[in-house]
């Protein structure tokens, strides 16, 4: 692992730790809105090679994350559900208002980006807002980043069988090692949560969650790679030295977040 990658990780992890451990729901929501804004900008910069994204709709959608927990809980599901068709209506209105200078292709790429970035990041906020959310959120983070770290280490050392041309550097050995490593990290974290924080999370269930989230996160990584290969770029940006852009760093986490939220409701 190169020096830039290590340095970025050492600097970035304490920031994440401070936000999710010390920040209240509003602070976390604002932080996630900023992350969404950076990620959306990277996505738009990537796809502007093949379409003309509707920037203003995408950016306003990102800011909406900051107000998730301002909405009363009893109306939250309705607001989030209605936001999907509302965004679609606004995008088609843009096509009409511009006499098709904004095309169907433009709004299709824009809508995909909003769903991919904003709605997926929104589930990170939902997890944090759950009972014991400040504990549960770390399962999602460990599943995503633990998989990345162990997949990188195992792939570098013993990876011989390539997984997919979508991401040629990834190996089958690395993918398996990433999942095993993430599950082990989550089980260690469960021991700490149960012994020191009074939780009672079943180890077998956590292991099952770990496997599912790790595999989904890896699909998210491949999904991000497929977009980059389509527009012929290596990274979404150079925002984080050694890691690429914000979207490169969170692609696994945001992809698994909706599934993590659903699984955590069963705990």
**End-to-end Cα distance, the chain:** 36
This prediction's pTM: 0.90
The CA distance from 20 to 141, in Å, is: 11
Q: What is the dihedral of CA 134, 139, 145, 150, to 10 degrees?
A: 150
Residue 102: CA atoms inside 13 Å, Cβ hemisphere, count? 20
pLDDT at position 1 is 46
C-alpha span between 172 and 250 (Å, rounded): 21
In the prediction, which pLDDT does 73 show? 85
- Closest to 40 in 3D by CA, of 65, 19, 71: 65
pLDDT in tens, 5-16: 455 454 556 677
- List of residues 6+ apart from 72 with CB closer than 8 A: none
Rg for the chain, CA atoms, rounded? 19
DSSP assignment string, 136-163: HHHHHHHHHHHHHHHHHHHHHHH--SB-
Reduced to 3 states (helix: H, G, I; strand: E, B; else coil), residue 266 is coil
CA 187 to each of CA 155, 192, 263, 264: distance values in angstroms, whole numbers, following the listed order: 22, 9, 16, 15
Q: Tokens standing for 86?
A: 């509302």
Tens of pLDDT, residue by residue over 10-34, are 455 667 777 787 778 889 999 999 9
Q: What is the largest CA-CA distance in the chain?
A: 63
**Number of residues that make up the chain:** 267
pLDDT digits (tens, 9 = 90+) for 155-214: 888 878 887 778 777 889 999 999 999 999 999 999 999 999 999 999 999 999 999 999
| Strand spans (E) along 66-200 | none
């Amino acid at each position: 692992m190169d020096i830039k990658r290590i340095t970025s990780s050492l600097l970035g992890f304490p920031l994440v730790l401070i936000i999710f451990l010390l920040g209240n729901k509003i602070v976390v929501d604002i932080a996630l809105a900023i992350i969404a804004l950076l990620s959306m900008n990277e996505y738009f910069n990537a796809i502007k090679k093949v379409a003309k994204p509707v920037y203003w709709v995408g950016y306003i959608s990102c800011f909406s994350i900051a107000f998730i927990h301002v909405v009363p809980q009893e109306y939250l599901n309705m607001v989030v559900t209605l936001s999907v068709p509302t965004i679609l209506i606004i995008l088609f209105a843009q096509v009409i208002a511009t006499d098709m200078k904004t095309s169907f292709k433009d709004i299709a790429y824009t809508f995909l980006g909003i769903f991919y970035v904003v709605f997926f990041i929104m589930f990170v906020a939902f997890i944090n807002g759950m009972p014991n959310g400040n504990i549960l959120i770390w399962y999602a983070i460990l599943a995503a980043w633990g998989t990345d770290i162990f997949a990188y280490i195992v792939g570098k050392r013993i990876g011989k069988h390539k997984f997919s041309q979508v991401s040629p550097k990834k190996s089958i050995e690395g993918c398996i090692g990433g999942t095993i490593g993430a599950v082990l990290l989550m089980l260690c974290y469960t021991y700490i949560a149960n012994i020191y924080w009074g939780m009672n999370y079943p180890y077998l269930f956590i292991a099952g969650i770990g496997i599912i989230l790790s595999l989904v996160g890896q699909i998210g990584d491949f999904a991000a790679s497929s977009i980059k290969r389509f527009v012929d770029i290596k990274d979404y940006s150079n925002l984080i030295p050694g890691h690429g852009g914000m979207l490169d760093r969170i692609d696994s986490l945001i992809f698994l977040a909706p599934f993590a939220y659903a699984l955590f409701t069963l705990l």
